[in-house]
Amino acid sequence: MNDVHRRMRHMFFMLLNLIVYPLSKLYPRSHKVWVFGAADNEFTGNPKYLFLWVSESRPDIQAVWISGNRKTCHAIRENGYRACPRWSFAGILAAVRAKVYFFGHYSEDVNLPFSGGATLVNLWHGVGLKAVNLGLPQGRTSSVQKFANSLTGYLRHLKYLIRPDYIVTTSDFMQKHFMSQFLAKADQCPKLGYPRLDCVVVPKLGLASEKIDRSLGFKWNKPEHSDIYIYVPTSRDSGRDFLHEAIPDVERLSTALAKRNAILYIKPHPRTLVPSSFKNADNIRMWPRGIDFQTYLHEFDVLITDYSSVLYDYLATGATGAILYTFDMEEYLSLDRGLLYPFEENTAGARARDFQELCFLLEHGVPDNETTRQQIDEIRDKFWGGSPSPASPAVVKFVEANLH
């Protein structure tokens, strides 16, 4: 997209925010129409699994997935669910009629200009230790707050300035965390759990997700290996190329995996650019972009991660094989993102502070003993304690009770 097209696009959306957004507050919305969407037009995260649960369990509610990706919409519809391209007539009509918007980042995950007057429920995209939203001083949401009283700035940055009505949380600890990060009250941060974990305890959600993945061209064929590992590093805000530093020697890593007849999938964050020079091996594969791995998380024997919230998802499933690979912690804290709480006290798993330690753990196995399990139980309770399981029914019940 060149500069002229980019400016025209910005002007178009500013015009929508000026005219359509306030008018959308006047349109009569239906309590029985709920719309869902996720960042980057993917079918993923908490909105995905709540959408599937509502579609399967509450036929009285018209659940509609909204996406800018027509292929995604087609795959969802092909499996019997409602989905509309964002700027189609049906998509706009659903967005303007819906009483509830569910999303994982901002209401633009669905359709921001038509969200006026709707109840906005931010399901967010992970528990954890990182500063986010208004709690991240250098972040976009914080930096544009100064434009709130400027008409031009308001229209340009509306998606960052609109506050959600509710932010779903998972425990006492996480409720306090999100209250501080969103400057929200306790009753705006209900402890309802994360729907993206429901596919583990509600088999039909996992099956539904797998069917849609097949329509998107992905079929999970469990590899014939003794162990299946996945490496899920979080994004680096600086945009630096860290994968080459994380895996400086593919052959050495492949050899370590081979000693346990293991295979490793690498699942970068959606905003991480994988260098074209990055090489795979027979037992090292990239997870396909656009395919949500939550459905298959319980299939992995070992999770390798760093500062990502996926650690807590993995431990919540009852798994114990986690490796915390923090080869660049100093750089991460200074260049990328601050951690609000002590890392060692709020994580559980085997530690690998450099590539050699990682290879050693892969060759010899992740320790599993009483001390490790006790630490995992403590972390699980701290981040998920009190969360309903499955979470989707609790989210739906809460939202229905608070619609006006």
Q: What is the CATH number of the domain that holds 125?
A: 3.40.50.11820
pLDDT at 269: 86
Report the first-to-last Cα separation within the chain, whole angstroms: 42
Q: What SS3 class is residue 136? A: coil
Let me know whether 195 and 229 are in one domain: no
pTM, two decimals, is 0.95
Q: Which domain holds residue 183?
A: 3-214+390-401
pLDDT at 1: 59
Burial class (CB in 10 A: 0-12, 13-18, 19+), 16: middle
Let me know whether 71 and 104 are in one domain: yes
Can you tell me the distance from the alpha carbon of 56 to that of 4, in angstroms, rounded to the nearest whole number?
Answer: 45
Structural domain contains residue 339? yes
- DSSP-assigned letters across all residues of 336-398: I--BSS-TGGG--SEEE-SHHHHHHHHHH-----HHHHHHHHHHHHHHHTT--SSSHHHHHHH
Note the maximum CA span of the chain.
64
Q: What is the CATH number of the domain that holds 251?
A: 3.40.50.12580
Q: Which residues contact 165 (CB under 8 A, 6 or more apart)?
A: 119, 120, 121, 188
pLDDT string in tens for the chain (404-residue length): 577 778 888 888 899 999 999 999 999 999 999 999 999 999 999 999 999 999 999 999 999 999 999 999 999 999 999 999 999 999 999 999 999 999 999 999 999 999 999 999 999 999 999 999 999 988 899 999 999 999 999 999 999 999 999 999 999 999 999 999 999 999 999 999 999 999 999 999 999 999 999 999 999 998 999 999 999 999 999 989 899 899 999 999 999 999 999 999 999 988 887 777 677 789 999 999 989 999 999 999 999 999 999 999 999 998 889 999 999 999 999 999 989 999 999 999 999 999 999 999 999 989 888 888 999 999 999 999 989 999 999 999 999 999 98
Let me know whether 247 and 186 are in one domain: no
pLDDT at 402: 97
Structural domain contains residue 30? yes
Let me know whether 81 and 135 are in one domain: yes
Count of domains forming the chain = 2
Can you tell me the distance from the alpha carbon of 319 to that of 304, in angstroms, rounded to the nearest whole number?
Answer: 12
Let me know whether 242 and 362 are in one domain: yes
Structural domain contains residue 294? no
Let me know whether 397 and 314 are in one domain: no
pLDDT at 77: 98
Structural domain contains residue 229? yes
